[in-house]
Amino acid sequence: MIAELTGPLGACREDDRRTRRGHDRHRAPGAGAKNKLSAADRILATILYLRKVGTQELVGELFNLDRAAISRAVRDVRPLLDQHRHIITPSTARFRTPSDVAAFLAEGHDIARTEIKQAC
């Protein structure tokens, strides 16, 4: 999935920037500020958020970023997932802090097999 979406993600970002600027870039690619997340990390962060494993704040903490950076990643990647017909199903596991995620993984749980717990 990463290999399939990385190229289109870069093209969409460049197209979006060209639209905002109103013209092609003046500098060569690679000049200027660097992205905080690689394309693979942007895709992973979006999938974690869409799986509803945690909030954008939690995903941001896992990647050492703020919620706004995760929000931008989700905004950029979600249309590509839809376009390539990748359906991300919600997980039944929910976490509040990075330590909750670490504890869950240390116990050897498989997120895909975790069953929904009844409230009553």
Quick one: pLDDT at residue 70?
92
For residues 109 and 27, which has the higher predicted lDDT (pLDDT)?
A: 27
Q: Is the pLDDT reported for residue 8 higher than 70?
A: yes
Q: What is the mean pLDDT of residues 30-51?
A: 83
Q: What is the pLDDT of residue 11?
A: 72
What are the sequence ranges of the domains in the chain? 2-21+36-113
Alpha-carbon distances of 20 from 7, 26, 30, 92, 120, rounded to whole Å: 20, 14, 18, 39, 52
- Residue 92 is predicted with a pLDDT of 83
Average pLDDT, the chain: 80
Higher pLDDT, 44 or 36: 44
Pick 49 or 118 by higher pLDDT: 49
Look at residue 117 in the predicted model and tell me its pLDDT. Answer: 53
Distance in angstroms (rounded) separating the CA atoms of residues 57 and 63: 10
Per-residue model confidence as pLDDT tens digits over 56-102: 899 999 899 999 999 988 988 898 888 888 888 888 888 888 888 88
Best CA proximity match to 4, nearest among 81, 118, 73: 81
Q: Is 85 left (phi over 0), alpha (psi -120 to 50) or beta?
A: left
Stretch (H or E) spanning 73: helix 67-83
